[in-house]
Amino acid sequence: MIAETTNRLFAETPLVRKKQRREWVARLIFGMMAAAMIIPLLLIIGYLVYQGAPLISWDFLTTNPVGGMRRGGIWSALLGTIWLVGVSLLIAAPIGVMAAVYLNEYARDNWFNRIINLAVINLAGVPSIVHALFGLGAFVLFARMGRSVLAASLTLAIMTLPVIIASTREALASVPRTFREACWNVGATRWQTIRRIVLPNSISGILTGVILQVSRTAGETAPIMFTGAVFFRSISEGDFFAYGLKEQCMALSMHLYTVTTQVTGAPKPLPYAIAVVLLGTVLLVNATAIVLRVYLRSRKKW
Amino acid sequence: MHPPAKHVEVSNLRLSYGPKEVIHGITFDIFKNEILGIIGPAQSGKTSLLRCINRTIEFSADAKVQGTIKVEGVDVRRQNVYALRRKIGMVAPLPVGLPLTIYDNVAFAPRCAGVTAKSDLDGAVEKCLRQAALWDEVKDRLDSLGTKLSGGQQQRLTIARALSHQPEILCLDEFSIAIDPVTTMRIEDVLKELRKEMTIILVTNLTQQARRLANRTMFLWNGDIIELDSNQVMFSDTPANRKTYEYVNGIFG
Amino acid sequence: MATELQTELAPERAAPKPAQPERGSAPANKPARAGRGALAIAGEKLIEFVIRLCGISAIIFVFSIFFFVFREAAPLFFQKHEPPAQPEAVVERHADDHSPAAKKFALKEFLFSKEWYPTSQSNVRFGVLALIVGTLSVTALAMIIAVPFGLGAAVFVSEFCGGKIKETLKIVIELLAAIPSVVWGFIGLTVMNPIIQDLFHAPIGLNMLNGAILLALMSVPIMVSIGEDSLKAVPDSFREAGLALGATRWQLVYRVLLPAAKNGLLAAVLLGVGRAVGETMAVLMATGHAVNIPFVTADGSFNPLFIFEPVRTLTATIAAELGEASEGSQHYRVLFLIGVLLFSMTFIVNLTADLIIRGIKKR
């Protein structure tokens, strides 16, 4: 900004012109780098939608796949994803939020808590397929849950935990420390401070993080492949409780993988339509969280 | 007249943050129902001293306290920390309206202490807001957010909150730093009233404020007490220490 | 230091309420303080206990991941012979002209042999070298593509645009990060595959390049967000000082910001690497899935067109073969061992990135 005003105030020298040209080129290059990621992506998504559009309808969402998954809809896969996401969230959200409360409000800066932080970071970096191995070894085999919704959800829950912890910590840290000190000064205990001041003022941020997590969980494939998801299962259409915790289920992400790589002779738009539904679900949930965040930021109480 | 009762006894208090010592072993007493002014430039350890008294210093991870502080004759470390903090009202330099309604701001401390009856809370809220000279301005909008009040009002709200748990000691830490002179004068009037009921520790960087309000004034300088005496002596032309005279009269500092 | 503090100052809860000393001249009109119910205090203790428990859960989970994955792999090292139920083991025993010791699992062979014939009838081999090379080469190529774009985009978002564009870009990048990996794989399979075939006249579009482009696109968002954070962490005074001296934005970025933020940018790249190494579905679907060291041709010479070779990664191998390997077989256990290997690789990468980020925060 300063440089711009200066340029207007003083006469242009060749050096200044050269500088400006370079500035412009740099701006263009960096802008193109940003654009190079985004524009092809939009084109690809547009292409997917274009290819899948003929199949997508309400019936597509609410009927089971039939004919060796070559015809029909995706109901059982969609419902399976909803179940997996729901159950895993029920497990991960409370643990994750409380872990974040511990790390942000209780933990002092000592070696033990540094190890916890390190563990959270490493948990976030564990490859999804290793989570799958863990889920198979720990839940399916060791805990004798078998391949089931429960085992898959637990695997997903542990996978999503670090992200919930991170987003919750961020939300908690955005509550000014002066509020906490004011509470401590009047003799409030740590928990009273957390419950009456910190949580009410960060709950929106926490919720946003959890919603974002939903979108990520919905798209995961590898962790559920060997812990609870099956290629095909027919369930009663329209019944939201068609899956039990101890049963295997289909999942949208897995279904896309199966139809793309294992099923031969499927009509061409089918995998595109599944991809569009999966992508649409994920992006919709994500966008909801972003809108919520922007809205909540605009009406902060302090 | 027998000597006044000691309310707070500080003996040989040392405080360091990490390797840096900020209070170098100070000893003094605070008597019941007096206003003790504490003056001194920034970084002289005034705020840290207050935080040692109500033990909020423990929230600073690298703080190390040595020596003893007794409140009502008992070492603060042997007291239940929450009970201790309820005995001490603390007003921070910048007003902190909690993001609650005005009513809830003042009712916060009683609720934390276990008061649930609506009538008790109502009474406490009104009493404290009156004591803090805020009642008339906010009595019709107790349900609006405390954070939406003006700076001066928020500071009085903070005082009301500090009074809401019926403290025996009120610590004010440069309370007038963020508010205008008129409001400052109003709060000073409030303090003159409150002194009848409690001991007041008034940390201020306005020497004239200490002169107006305090019975005795302590001059703290780089973590050492330069001088502590009654206002007649401190603000006279011949305090015991030449530095005091120079600081009070604006020759240095 | 904290423990020192705790001994220095008496514990908060254990201390008994002091006996009230005589009040002296204190006002007598004070109402009695209402105490909190024992139930409330007990409830608070309980919830704090649960919170602490959840706090350490992360450690428990990390350890149990390692433990349970290793637990399934461990018998490899202790079992001398394969379970007799394995028919191929019997066949192999006849075919193998070495000693019975060849049946013993050899860690050296596992790491340094490029022969991966897990289900072979006559010659079972578990050498993951080709898979490691596959993982590393795809990751490296992905980083070659992603680093300039990711960091360039980070610089652009952080320094060259403001207001609405910046917000929009950040949201788009966030959405980019949300695209599921199986959708990426699908894109690789259906969109990139023909494009690569047409553009480069490659015999097959499912190859290292395809996977690397997908991985690049997948790891760019994390690079942008961490990179932008570290650029943001450069104090504004640096920028103002630079601009006041008449530097253009570009000079500012090149001479001031990039050197100042280099550790953060390095961490951003490392986190991108961690993500790329661990990615499963996209590489499973897009890299062609052939056990192959891409740099070497059949006759042993260097292959200049290696980016068009199909490869297979560690992650994809587990995903593709775990379903077929019968529980408890050597093949099954080797797949878990690959999991241990992956876990260790990403652990080291993430640890390094974290140490770098922590170093920045300290400053």
B105 domain residue, yes or no: yes
- Determine the Cα angle at A179 with ends A176 and A182, to 5°: 145
> At C95, is the pLDDT very low, low, confident or very high (cuts 50, 70, 90)?
very low
Per-residue model confidence as pLDDT tens digits over B50-83: 989 888 888 887 888 898 999 988 888 888 888 8
In this complex, which of B54, B56, B61 lies closest to A109 when CB atoms are compared? B61
Cα C253 from Cα C242, distance rounded (Å): 10
Q: What sign has the CA pseudo-torsion C130, C132, C136, C139?
A: positive
Domain edge (last residue) among C126, C151, C182: C126
* Cβ separation C322–A136 shorter than 8 A: yes
Phi, psi of C136 (to 5 degrees): -65, -40
Domain that holds residue A6: 2-55
pLDDT value, residue A3: 60
Q: What is the pLDDT of residues A260-274, one digit of tens each?
A: 888 888 888 899 999
Smallest Cβ distance to A30: which of C51, C152, C246? C152
Where is average pLDDT lowest: B198-207, C127-136, C351-360?
C351-360
- CATH code (residue A201): 1.10.3720.10
Residue C182 touches chain A, beta carbons under 8 Å: yes
- Tell me if B114 and C2 make a contact (CB, 8 A cut-off): no
Average pLDDT over residues C218-224: 88
| pLDDT tens digits along B149-186 | 888 888 889 889 998 888 899 999 888 887 788 888 88
pLDDT exceeds 90 at position C51: yes
Q: Does B66 touch chain C (CB under 8 A)?
A: yes
Packed helices A199-219 and A269-298: angle between N→C axes, nearest 10 degrees? 170
* Residue-wise pLDDT tens digits, B125-134: 999 998 888 8
Contact A121 C322 (CB under 8 A): no
Residue C33, pLDDT > 60, answer no
Give the per-residue pLDDT at C78. 78
Residues in chain A with CB shorter than 8 Å from the CB of B59 are: 181, 184
Q: Does residue A287 have a pLDDT over 80?
A: yes
* Averaged pLDDT for residues A114-134: 90
CA-to-CA distance for B51 and B39, rounded, in angstroms?
16
C61 vs A41, A101, A158: nearest CB: A158
Instruction: Using CA atoms of A216, A218, A220, A223 in order, give the dihedral in degrees to the nearest 10.
Output: 110
| Rounded (10°) CA dihedral B21, B23, B25, B29 | -160
> Which of B50, B71, B112 is the best mutation test for A, with the most CBs of A within 10 A?
B112
Query: What pLDDT score was predicted for residue C35?
Result: 62
Which chain A residue's Cα is nearest to B111? A188
Nearest-CB residue to A108 (from B61, B97, B100)? B61
The answer to the question of residue B163 being in a domain is yes
Residue B2 predicted with pLDDT over 70: no
What stretch of H or E contains B16?
strand B6-17
Written as six digits, the tokens of B26 are 């100070």
Give the pLDDT of residue A161.
92
Residue A4, pLDDT score: 62
Q: In whole angstroms, what is the distance from residue B106 CA to residue B132 CA?
A: 11
Mutation to test the B interface, candidates C1, C12, C33, C48, most B Cβ within 10 Å? C33
Is the pLDDT reported for residue C224 higher than 60?
A: yes
Domains held by chain C: number = 2
In contact, A296 and A208? CB cutoff 8 Å = yes
Q: Helix, strand or coil for residue C251?
A: helix
For residue C225, pLDDT beyond 90? no
Question: Which distant-in-sequence residues (6+ apart) come within 8 Å of A47 by Cβ?
Answer: C191
- Inter-chain residue contact B112 with A192, CB threshold 8 Å: yes
Closest residue to C1, CB basis, from B61, B113, B168: B61
Q: How confident is the model at residue B253 (pLDDT cuts 50, 70, 90)?
A: low
State how far the Cα of B168 lies from the Cα of B30, in Å rounded to an integer: 12
List the single residue in C9, C30, C37 with the smallest CB-CB distance to B65: C9
Strand, coil or helix: what is A34?
helix
Rounded mean pLDDT of chain C? 79
Residues C96 and C182 in one domain: no
Q: Do residues B39 and B202 make contact, with C-beta atoms less than 8 angstroms apart? A: no
- Angstroms from B231 CA to nearest CA on chain A: 29
Residue C27 tokens read as 């006002």
CA distance A133 to chain C (A): 6
Distance, CA of A183 to CA of B109 (rounded, Å)? 8
Q: Torsion angle, CA of A248/A252/A253/A259, rounded to 10 degrees?
A: 100
Of B81, B115, B120, nearest to C12 by CB-CB distance is B81
3-state DSSP call for residue B101? strand
A65 and A164 part of one domain = yes
ipTM of the complex: 0.87
Chains that touch C (3 or more CB pairs under 8 A): A, B
pLDDT band per the 50, 70, 90 thresholds, residue C34: very low
Contacts of A217 (CB under 8 A, 6+ apart): A84, A85, A88, A89, A156, A159, A160
CA distances from C216 to A55, C170, C191 (A): 31, 18, 16
Region B236-250: what's the mean pLDDT?
Answer: 86
- Asked if C297 and C261 sit in the same domain, the reply is yes
Contact A182 B92 (CB under 8 A): yes
The answer to whether the CB atoms of A182 and B147 lie below 8 A apart is: no
C283 and C164 fall within a common domain: yes
**Which residue in B has a C-alpha nearest to residue C19's C-alpha?**
B74
Q: A262: part of which helix (H) or strand (E)?
A: none
Confidence at residue A92, expressed as pLDDT on a 0 to 100 scale: 94
Residue C9's pLDDT is: 39
C-alpha pair distances (Å), C116 with each of C105, C126, C324: 14, 5, 15
Query: Residue B181 belongs to a domain with what CATH number?
Result: 3.40.50.300
Nearest residue in chain C measured CA to CA from B87: C33
C chain contacts of residue A30, beta-carbon cutoff 8 Å = 152-153, 155-156, 159-160
Question: How big, in percent rounded to 5, are the helix, strand and coil portions of chain A?
Answer: 75, 0, 25
β-sheet bridge partners, residue B36: B201, B216
Residue C16: pLDDT over 70 = no
Total domains in chain B come to 1
Count of CB atoms within 10 A of residue C290's CB?
A: 15
Contacts of A165 in chain C (CB under 8 A): 58
Closest partner CB to B86 (pick from A179, A183, A187): A187
A184 to chain B, any CB pair closer than 8 A? The answer is yes
Residues of B in contact with A109 (CB under 8 A): 61
Find where tokens 């005795």 sit: B216
**Domain span at residue B206?**
6-248
Instruction: Say if residue A44 is in the same domain as residue A128.
Output: no
pLDDT of residue C13 exceeding 70, the answer is no
- Neighbouring chains of A at 3+ CB pairs under 8 Å are B, C
B32 with C4: Cβ contact below 8 A: no
Helix (H, G, I), strand (E, B) or coil at B41: coil
Q: Which residues on chain C are in Cβ contact (under 8 Å) with B58? A: 5, 9, 12
Q: What pLDDT does residue A208 have?
A: 87
C272/A217 Cα distance (integer angstroms)? 20
Q: Residue C103's pLDDT is what? A: 55
Specify the amino acid at residue A114. R
Among B53-67, B77-91, C13-27, name the one with the lowest average pLDDT: C13-27
Q: What is the DSSP letter of A302?
A: -
The mean pLDDT value of chain B amounts to 87
Give me the number of domains chain A comprises.
2
A176 and A213 in a common domain: yes
Specify if C148 maps to a domain: yes
User: What letter does residue A137 receive in the DSSP assignment?
Assistant: I
Residues 6+ positions from B11 with CB-CB distance below 8 Å: B27, B67, B68, B69, B70
- Residue of A9, A30, A48, A259 to mutate when probing chain C, most C C-beta within 10 A: A30
Please check whether residue A299 is in contact with residue A281, taking contact to mean a CB–CB distance below 8 angstroms.
Answer: no
- Which residue among A27, A256, A257 sits closest to C160, beta carbon to beta carbon? A27
Segment B109-120, tens digit of pLDDT = 888 888 888 898
Integer angstrom CA distances of residue C143 from A63, C150, C211, C215: 42, 9, 12, 8
- Given a cut of 50, whether residue C111 has pLDDT beyond it is yes
Please tell me the least confidently modeled range out of A277-291, B204-218, C22-36. C22-36
Shared domain check, A139 and A27:
no
Residue B236: CB partners within 8 Å, gap ≥ 6?
none
So what's the pLDDT on residue B146? 85
Residue C151 burial (CB count, 10 A): 24
pLDDT for residue C85 is more than 70? no
Q: How many residues does chain A have?
A: 302
Residues across chain C: 363
- A84 and A217 together in one domain: yes
> B56 and A181 in contact by Cβ < 8 A?
yes
Are C185 and C276 members of one domain? Answer: yes
Q: Chain-centre distance of CA B183, in angstroms?
A: 17
Residue B253 within a domain: no
Say whether both C90 and C151 belong to one domain: no
Which pLDDT score is estimated for A265? 82
Which residue is closest to B105 within chain A, CA to CA? A183
Q: Which residue has the tokens 């910048």?
A: B94
Whole-angstrom CA distances from C137 to A294, C13, C196 are: 40, 57, 18
Q: Both A119 and A191 in a single domain?
A: yes
The whole-model pTM stands at 0.83
Mean pLDDT of chain A: 87
Rounded CA-CA distance C76/C109 in Å is 13
Contact of C237 with chain B, judged by CB distance below 8 Å, is answered with no
Lowest mean pLDDT among A24-38, A203-217, B225-239, C45-59: A24-38
Residue A95 to residue C53: CA distance in whole angstroms: 9
Do C242 and C266 lie in a common domain?
yes
Percent of chain A with pLDDT over 90: 37
> Residue A121 and residue C160: Cβ atoms within 8 Å?
no
Instruction: Return the structure tokens found at B203.
Output: 């940390």
Chain A contact for C181 (CB, 8 A cutoff): yes
pLDDT tens digits, residue range B22-52? 999 899 999 988 999 999 888 888 888 998 9
Q: Which of C313, C321, C325 is nearest to C284 (CA)?
A: C313
Same domain, C228 and C257: yes
CB contact, 8 Å: C113 with chain A?
A: no
The whole domain housing C182 covers 129-321
Q: Mark yes or no for CB contact B109/A187 under 8 Å.
A: yes
C156 lies in some domain: yes
Inter-chain residue contact A197 with B98, CB threshold 8 Å: yes
Please name the residue ranges forming H helices in A126-268.
128-134, 149-173, 177-185, 190-193, 199-219, 222-225, 252-261
My answer on whether A49 and A121 are in the same domain is no
Evaluate if residue A88 carries a pLDDT over 90: yes
Q: Say if residue B251 is exposed, middle or buried (CB neighbours under 10 Å; 0-12, 13-18, 19+).
A: exposed
Q: Does C4 touch chain B (CB under 8 A)?
A: yes
Q: DSSP string spanning B199-246?
A: EEEEE-S-HHHHHHH-SEEEEEETTEEEEEEEHHHHTSS--SSHHHHH
- Calculate how close chain A gets to B206, using CA atoms only, in Å: 23
The predicted model gives C66-86 an average pLDDT of 74
Do the Cβ atoms of C154 and C228 come closer than 8 Å?
yes
Residue C363's pLDDT is 58
Q: For C27, name the nearest residue in chain B, comparing CA atoms only.
A: B197
Higher pLDDT, A11 or C227: C227
Residue C22: pLDDT band by 50, 70, 90 thresholds? very low
The closest of B156, C45, B148, B97 to A179, measured between CA atoms, is B97
Which residues of chain B make contact with C27, given a CB cutoff of 8 A?
Answer: 196-197
- Interchain CB distance below 8 Å, A183 and B99: no
Look at residues A38, A55, A72 and tell me which one is the last residue of a structural domain.
Answer: A55
Nearest-angstrom CA–CA distance, A1 and A21: 16
Per-residue pLDDT, averaged over A264-287, amounts to 90
pLDDT for the residue A89 = 93
Q: Which residues of C touch B13 (CB under 8 A)?
A: none
Q: Which residue is listed with tokens 């409150």? A: B194
Per-residue confidence (pLDDT) for residue A253, from 0 to 100: 93
pLDDT at C272 over 50: yes
What's the pLDDT band for C89 if we cut at 50, 70, 90?
Answer: very low
The per-residue pLDDT for A14 is 78
Residues A195, A119 share a domain: yes
User: pLDDT, tens digit, for every residue of A170-180?
Assistant: 899 988 888 88
Give residue A223's pLDDT: 92
Any domain includes B1:
no
Q: What is the DSSP letter of B31?
A: E
For chain B, the residues whose C-beta falls within 8 A of a C-beta of chain A are 54, 56, 59, 61, 82-86, 89-90, 92, 94, 96-100, 108-109, 111-113, 145, 147, 158, 161-162, 164-165
